[in-house]
Amino acid sequence: MISKNSYMKKYLFLLIVTGALVGCSPQVTSELVTEGLSPQPTNKVMIVGEGESTGDMQTIGQVTVDGKTESVKSQYGKMLGLAVRETAQKGGNMLVVDNSAIDKNLLKGTMGHTDGEVIDSLTLSVKRIDELKAHLWGKPATVNTAATKTDKTETDVPEAATAEAESTSWQQEEESQGIIFKLGFGPMWTTSKLYLSKDAKNYVSDQRGYAINLSIAYTGKKIYGFGADFYGSRTEIEIPDNFMYIGNKPDYIMMYLGPSALIGGNITPWLRLDASLGLGLAYYHDDGQNEIGFGSRMTMGMEIMVTKTLGIGIDGVRQRCVFSKPDGFKQPDNESYGFDHLGAMLTIRLHY
């Protein structure tokens, strides 16, 4: 059965993990010199690189994105997107990128506003990100630097169609890896007491079994998200010879299904950490009874990205399920009738 005193440790540990993961995510700060401007759509913020014209832009403030533990180069698009969003929220429609502090893992920028026409080719898109990255780490790309002019460059495809295609491409890249499928299998141990009689005098613990897990989650490229988990396990109970137990070796099956909240992120481009907490329905079966109850679930995982969409990792799992106490069962007052599992699972994850 489950000791009630260990619940607080479980949630305190999850809070510590959550704080560590949040501390690894990029952080945005800004300072304003002009306030009171109305927020702008993010797809109307033009990004101006170093050496490109700013026209009649009026400066409204400064923005800084701290990449934390991951380099600017490995997450340049994400950090640029955060700077653009901050600029839009402060009422700006121009962001002048400052790369002077990249060696310190900082992406800086000047937020501005212009009354000139917005040039779609300078707004946030996969192509625009590649152009800016090329100036930093590769051969400079040819870009339209007339940030406030209305003249259009000659092209085989109309500018509106090009902008729409770029916007769609960017959205597809943003939506990728927002859905995560995870399949896990591995050993688990019943760390709670398994009583062999209703008088609760004889019990065993630390019984090993095996478990499978199937999870789906949606994060939308954020460090947090929501999902659902299925967990199933089977345990054969080993009974010591001195217990004088008569009958076949007992076993039990336990299942769990429920929603979950999760938090996680990349520590490096190829290493990812995550944690989750869930509440749901539980099912228990042995030779003598079937029970439905409630369960809680906590996981901590580490994943190595093999490709952009495939990862292999390991999860630590804490699974608890509580059921109604049978009539006539004499249980200590400091215990709940249920099962406490601790497991280690090898996982395969697919990111879409």
pLDDT of the residue at 174? 43
CA distances from 272 to 41, 205, 235, 349 (A): 31, 34, 31, 11
CA distances from 9 to 98, 198, 280 (A): 45, 29, 20
pLDDT of the residue at 112? 93
pLDDT of the residue at 19? 55
pLDDT of the residue at 24? 60
Of 156 and 184, more confident: 184
Long-range contacts of 289-294 (CB under 8 A, 24+ apart): 289/326, 291/323, 291/324, 292/323, 293/321, 293/322, 293/323, 293/324, 293/338, 294/321, 294/322
* In the chain, domain spans: 2-21+177-351, 33-175
Question: H/E/C letters for each residue in 29-57?
Answer: EEEECCCCCCCCCHHHCEEECCCCCCCCC
Report the candidate in 52, 341, 39 with the shortest Cα–Cα distance to residue 211.
341
Q: Is 282's pLDDT higher than 60?
A: yes
Task: Record the pTM.
Answer: 0.58
The SS3 assignment for 306 reads coil
Report helix angle 126-137 to 76-89, nearest 10. Answer: 120
> At a CB cut-off of 8 Å and minimum separation 6, what does 232 contact?
211, 212, 213, 253, 254, 255, 256
Amino acid letter, residue 345: M
Rounded distance, CA 257 to CA 215, Å?
A: 10
pLDDT of the residue at 3? 53
pLDDT tens for each residue of 200-250: 677 888 899 999 999 999 987 778 899 999 999 999 988 776 665 666 678
pLDDT band at 293 (very low <50, low <70, confident <90, very high): very high
pLDDT of the residue at 69? 65
pLDDT tens for each residue of 267-278: 887 899 999 999
Whether domain 2-21+177-351 has CATH 2.40.160.20: yes
Rounded distance, CA 283 to CA 289, Å?
A: 11
φ/ψ (deg, to 5) at 229: -130, 140
Q: Is 254's pLDDT higher than 60?
A: yes
